[in-house]
């Protein structure tokens, strides 16, 4: 398995503070079956000032420590990039870290309550640069929980979707889990990552989510989500995605599955 979204570099954001915890998280990921992980500290988040150089330096240091301690895990650079109005301009200036530093895929973090106004246009402007946006954990966004089908327009426009493993297992609560299942059933979830932050609060690991997905999808689709697509992303290669469909939902659940696209605050 390849985990494409982790906050595992020490001292950069709300992940681990010290290298020893980073190493412990890496051991947990390797023992769980990961062969590679992408570090993805927050970028353009008001609370943290993380640069591409910070990330590349942290990756090199962490990889050296893992090799010295004989932990078989490959570390690759990335970032959890907050949507800001001039994100396409920042990309043109070379200030944004893409997944694998390939310049082809960008992990995009949205607000946790609403889908920002102008999001479709912003994502399209990123695509015009030859970069595919990957929307990070939309099942944790209130707007999407109320109406998972809003993600159809984004996927049909060429964007990808990444879910959090803990949403699938139910560790983040009932609503994110129901939304995650709906997105999976609608072929609107292309990747799953741990979004690990610590060894306790949200630890690394994908195997439990993989076991849950085996009950929802054919084994080869689960393998695509957890290995083949992440591998192609890190190589900067094209990915052929399945056609989305309306999420399979239970009307008795206290979520709305209509088709109305809601607009939120300006990002």
Q: Which DSSP symbol is given to 241?
A: P
- Please indicate, yes or no, if residue 177 is contained in any of the structural domains: yes
pLDDT at 249: 59
Please name which of 136, 113, 142 lies closest in space to residue 123, comparing C-alpha atoms: 136
pLDDT at 251 over 90: no
- Please indicate, yes or no, if residue 256 is contained in any of the structural domains: no
Please state the domain count of the chain: 1
Candidate from 53-57, 112-116, 228-232 with smallest mean pLDDT:
112-116
Please name which of 227, 223, 233 lies closest in space to residue 77, comparing C-alpha atoms: 233
- Please indicate, yes or no, if residue 260 is contained in any of the structural domains: no
Q: Which DSSP symbol is given to 266?
A: B
Counting Cβ atoms within 10 Å, is residue 111 exposed (0-12), middle (13-18) or buried (19+)?
Answer: middle
Render pLDDT for 137-161 as a digit per residue (tens, 0 to 9): 999 999 999 999 999 999 999 999 9
- Please indicate, yes or no, if residue 251 is contained in any of the structural domains: no
Render pLDDT for 43-93 as a digit per residue (tens, 0 to 9): 998 888 999 999 999 999 999 999 999 999 999 999 999 999 999 999 999
- Mean pLDDT confidence for 180-207: 95
pLDDT at 63: 98
- Please indicate, yes or no, if residue 222 is contained in any of the structural domains: yes
Rounded Cα distance between 47 and 195, Å, is 18
- CATH number, position 120: 3.20.20.140
- Please indicate, yes or no, if residue 209 is contained in any of the structural domains: yes
Task: Find all residues with CB under 8 Å of 129, minimum gap 6, and list them.
Answer: 88, 91, 92
The residue length of the chain stands at 267
Predicted confidence band at 245 (pLDDT cuts at 50, 70, 90)?
Answer: confident
- Please indicate, yes or no, if residue 211 is contained in any of the structural domains: yes
User: Model pTM?
Assistant: 0.91
Predicted confidence band at 218 (pLDDT cuts at 50, 70, 90)?
Answer: very high
- Please indicate, yes or no, if residue 157 is contained in any of the structural domains: yes
Q: Domain range holding 110? A: 2-235
Contacts of range 224-232, beta carbons closer than 8 Å, 24 or more positions apart: 225/189, 225/190, 225/191, 225/192, 226/1, 226/2, 226/192, 227/1, 227/2, 229/190, 229/191, 230/2, 230/3, 230/4, 230/36, 230/38, 230/191, 231/2
Rounded Cα distance between 90 and 87, Å, is 5
């Amino acid at each position: 398995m390849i985990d494409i979204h982790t906050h595992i570099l020490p001292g950069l954001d709300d992940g681990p503070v010290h290298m020893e915890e980073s190493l412990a998280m890496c051991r947990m990921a390797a023992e769980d079956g990961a062969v590679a992980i992408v570090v993805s500290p927050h970028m353009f988040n008001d609370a943290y000032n993380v640069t591409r150089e910070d990330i590349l330096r942290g990756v090199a240091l962490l990889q050296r420590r893992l090799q010295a301690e004989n932990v078989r895990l490959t570390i690759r650079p990335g970032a959890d990039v907050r949507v800001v109005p001039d994100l396409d301009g920042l990309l043109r200036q070379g200030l944004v870290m893409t997944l694998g530093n390939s310049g082809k895929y960008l992990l995009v973090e949205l607000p946790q309550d609403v889908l920002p106004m102008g999001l479709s246009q912003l994502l399209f402007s990123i695509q015009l640069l030859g970069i595919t946006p990957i929307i990070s954990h939309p099942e944790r966004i209130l707007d999407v929980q109320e109406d998972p089908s809003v993600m159809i327009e984004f996927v049909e426009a060429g964007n990808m979707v990444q879910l959090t493993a803990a949403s699938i297992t139910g560790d983040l609560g009932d609503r994110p889990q129901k939304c995650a299942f709906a997105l999976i059933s609608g072929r609107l979830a292309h990747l799953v990552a741990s979004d690990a932050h610590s060894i306790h609060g949200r630890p690394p690991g994908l195997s439990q989510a993989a076991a849950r997905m085996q009950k929802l999808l054919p084994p080869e689709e689960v393998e695509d989500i957890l290995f083949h697509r992440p591998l192609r992303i890190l190589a900067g290669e094209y990915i052929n995605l399945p056609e989305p469909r309306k999420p399979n939902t239970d009307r008795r659940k206290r979520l709305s599955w209509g088709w109305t696209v809601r607009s939120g605050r300006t990002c």
